[in-house]
Amino acid sequence: MALRFLNPHKNSPILDQDAPSVETTTMSPSNPVQTTTTEHAMPSSAEAVKPVLLGTHLREIGQCLNINNALNDTAADTFAELQSSLQSVLGEVIAKGMDWSNVHVTLPSGEKRRIHLEVEASGDHGTVRRLKYYGVDAEDLPVPLTLPKDQSENPSDTFIASLENEGQITLREEARRGIYSQGAELYYVERNGALSEIELSYQGKSVKCQGLNATQGHCSCF
């Protein structure tokens, strides 16, 4: 099912600014060479990662949308915790699909690769998946790598996995959208499994929360 709400093509910035790790470069489908920023390394299982809390933002979301959602001050920044808060008033997510994804890979040689996948509307309720593949030059700028049409348009999951498996994944970022059974529309971004952005619209009100996996995360009400 093609999901077309909350702006059909959200910005797909490859990264934000708030991770203490490796510098990399932002890219987007319309302008693949953007600015240098900081990459979030995928945490190893041995690393102690302090969870970022979603709890204070759950209160802001409820106040903005004028809903009595469940509150949990210790809720972590995960989609499951967001659902736990909203389900009693908004119901289940009855349709959900991916907008775009970014995967950053470092090869055994030290070379870097960027894998960008975007889902576009095509025809009557149809979609097409477009894959873009990049190297990174000495100045940390993305360099497009040519893919055959059968690999860049509607690529198989097996082919995408083969690109990801060429090295170590240092970032996995996905943007998804969904519709709740009570009519609310949701757009959200997960970075390395944690929520980094949420936009939720319900009965003429919208709330947008950004930087959820950073110390300066905030929500705005519209």
Model pLDDT for residues 59-75, shown as the tens digit of each residue? 999 999 999 999 999 99
> 13-24 b/e with 16+ CB inside 10 Å = b?
bbbbebbeeeeb
> Are 100 and 190 in contact, with CB atoms under 8 Å apart?
no
Question: Which stretches of 29-147 are DSSP H helices?
Answer: 55-65, 79-90
pLDDT in tens, the chain (222 residues): 445 444 444 556 544 333 333 333 334 433 433 333 444 455 444 444 454 579 889 999 999 999 999 999 999 999 999 999 999 999 999 988 999 999 999 999 999 999 999 999 887 768 999 999 999 998 888 999 999 999 999 999 999 999 999 999 999 999 999 999 999 999 999 999 999 999 999 999 999 999 987 777 899 999
For the stretch 176-185, pLDDT in tens is: 999 999 999 9
What's the pTM? 0.79
* String of DSSP letters for 158-187: HHHHHHHTTSEEEEEEEEEEEEETTS-EEE
| Token code pair at residue 145 | 């790598």
